[in-house]
Structure formats: C-alpha cells, structure tokens
C-alpha cells in the first residue's frame, strides 16, 4: 500500500470535482469522505466522493457518471452492481489526484458509517495519529508477507533445479488427466519441500493479529472505527 502524507490541496480538489458532478447531477447530494477529507490524515491520497443515490435513480446516475469518463474498478475490493464505485483522476494545481466515486443508496447504513469515520477523526487529532500509525504497521506487514512469499518460492525453485540436475526421480505416478496429484501421491522428497511452505492463510492471520495490536492497546480507541470500517 502506497502511503502518502496528507495533501492540503485535497479538499479543494475534491470540491472542484464535486461541483463538476453536481452540474451534471442536479439534486444529488455529494460529500467528500475518507482520509483525504480529514486534515493531517495521511493515507493513500485518493479523493473519495460519496454520491447519495435516491431510490430508483441508480441506473440513471451511473450512466451519467460513466459518460463523464469515470472508469470501472481496476482492482481492489469489487463493489456490487447495486452499490458501484467508479475510478478516475483529476489534475489540480499541477498534481494528479486519484478519484474514487462511490454511488451509495441514500438509505444505506454505509452513509452513516462513512460520515462517522470522517467526523470522528476531524474531531479528535489523537485518533488521526492512531489511524495513520496503524496504516503504517499494516503496510509494513504486507510488505514482509510478500518478501516471505518470494523467498519461499525461490527456495522451492532452487530445490527443484538442484534435484532435477542431480537426476533424482521425482516419483510422480502416471495418472489420468482428471486425477489430482495430492500429498499422498508424492514421494518423501517432495513432501519435504511442501513442508517448508507456510500456508498464506496462517501468515495473514498472524499479520492481522499484529496489525490489530496497536488499536486494541490504545485506551479508549473506538474498536468499530479501526475494525475494518474503512479499507
């Protein structure tokens, strides 16, 4: 995760984009949410805009937003069709800001959650510092997980090449295409290699527990705020 310090131009850039959207979508309420809406809160640097969609107007609003040039998601958590998100970019004062436009039904509970995230952080600078610190810890753990996975793959490849060059028989049985090669079908040499690989779900579980440690230890920290409310 690419973390950036808070850019004081972010709110002004968001307001400029919101005015453009409101011109095309009169009557639709639009709010700036997410970390870029909170003074001093570092994060991904993406301008998150929340469009409050009245009942029965989702398709109409989505077509207008798409017609303005916003694109479908390119990655990350995929939002459902009844709560879409669009991506884009906007140049403001010589810098390019990434945009996430969230089309949220106005009656959805998510509206209150996004507002609460923003408003609580704005009202409490200590929570801002805690949120930024947790993001740094989470980003570091993700980097270490990737590093560990790459080292494990290099180890596996190295052992494979060494055994292949030494003429060791892998011992894989001849099987029909529909049959699966499971652990019981491998010879001891291959089972030994597999034991050196740490399952990814174990790594991620440890990473999540470590990432939660700072917020759990903080006195009075609202657990709902840092328990996955905002990605």
Residue 111 belongs to a domain with what CATH number?
Answer: 3.30.460.10
Same domain assignment for residues 119 and 132: no
List, for the chain, all residue ranges whose pLDDT scores fall below the cut of 50.
164, 168, 170-183, 185-186, 190, 193-194, 196-198, 200-201, 203-204, 206-207, 211, 214-231
114 in the same domain as 39: yes
Domain that holds residue 28: 10-123
75 and 143 co-located in one domain: no
For residue 77, what pLDDT is reported?
83
Q: Specify the number of domains making up the chain.
A: 2
| 2 lies in some domain | no
Same domain for 109 and 26: yes
For residue range 16-63, list pLDDT tens digits in order. 999 999 999 999 999 999 999 999 999 899 999 999 999 999 999 999
81 plus 67 within the same structural domain = yes
Is the residue at 173 inside a domain?
no
User: Residue 69's pLDDT is what?
Assistant: 94
136 within a domain of the structure (yes/no): yes
State whether 118 and 14 are in the same domain: yes
Q: Are 94 and 58 in contact (CB under 8 A)?
A: no
3-state secondary structure the chain: CCCECCCCCHHHHHHHHHHHHHHHCCCCEEEEECHHHCCCCCECCCEEEEEEECCCCHHHHHHHHHHCCCECCCCCCCCCCCCCEEEEEEEECCEEEEEEEEEEECCCHHHHHHHHHHHHHHHCHHHHHHHHHHHHHHHHHHHHHHHHHHHHHHHHHHHHHHHHHCCCCCCCCCCCCCCCCCHHHCCHHHHHHHHCCCCHHHHHHHHHHHHHHHHHHCCCCCCCCCCCCCC
Question: For the chain, how far is it from start to end, CA to CA, in angstroms?
Answer: 11
Instruction: Identify whether 228 is part of a domain.
Output: no
Same domain, 119 and 136: no
> Is residue 42 assigned to a domain?
yes
- Check residue 154 and give its pLDDT: 63
In a domain, 226, yes or no: no
| Residue where one domain finishes, among candidates 86, 101, 123 | 123
Do 118 and 154 have their domain in common? no
What pTM was computed for the model? 0.61
Exposure b/e, 178-208, CB count within 10 A at least 16 = b: eeeeeeeebeeebeeeeeeeeeeeebeeebe
Question: What CA–CA distance (Å, rounded) separates 42 from 74?
Answer: 23
Check whether residue 116 and residue 140 sit in a common domain: no
Which pLDDT score, from 0 to 100, does residue 62 have? Answer: 96
- In this structure, the answer to whether residues 71 and 137 fall within a common structural domain is no
Instruction: Work out whether strand 95-105 and strand 47-53 pair parallel, antiparallel, or are unpaired.
Output: parallel
Is 55 found in the same domain as 29?
yes
Let me know if residue 222 belongs to a domain.
no
5 assigned to some structural domain: no
Do 162 and 141 lie in a common domain? Answer: yes
Q: According to the model, what pLDDT value does residue 119 have?
A: 94
């Amino acid at each position: 995760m690419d973390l950036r310090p808070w850019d004081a131009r972010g709110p002004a850039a968001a307001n400029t984009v919101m005015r453009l959207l409101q011109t095309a979508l009169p009557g639709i309420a639009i709010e700036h949410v997410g970390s870029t809406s909170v003074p001093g809160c570092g994060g991904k640097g993406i301008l998150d805009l929340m469009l409050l969609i009245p009942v029965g107007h989702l398709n109409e609003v989505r077509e207008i937003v798409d017609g303005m040039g916003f694109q479908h998601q390119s990655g990350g958590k995929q939002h459902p069709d009844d709560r879409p998100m669009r991506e884009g970019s906007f140049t403001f004062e010589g810098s390019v800001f990434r945009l996430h436009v969230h089309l949220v039904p106005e009656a959805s509970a998510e509206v209150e959650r996004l507002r609460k995230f923003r408003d609580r952080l704005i009202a409490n600078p200590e929570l801002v510092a805690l949120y930024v610190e947790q993001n740094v810890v989470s980003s570091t753990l993700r980097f270490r997980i990737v590093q560990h996975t790459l080292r494990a793959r290099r180890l596996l490849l190295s052992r494979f090449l060494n055994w292949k060059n030494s003429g060791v028989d892998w011992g894989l049985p001849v099987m029909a295409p529909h049959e699966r090669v499971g652990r019981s079908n491998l010879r001891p040499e291959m089972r030994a290699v597999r034991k050196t690989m740490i399952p990814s779900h174990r790594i991620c579980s440890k990473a999540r527990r470590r990432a939660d440690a700072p917020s759990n230890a903080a006195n009075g920290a609202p657990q709902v705020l840092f328990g996955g409310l905002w990605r």
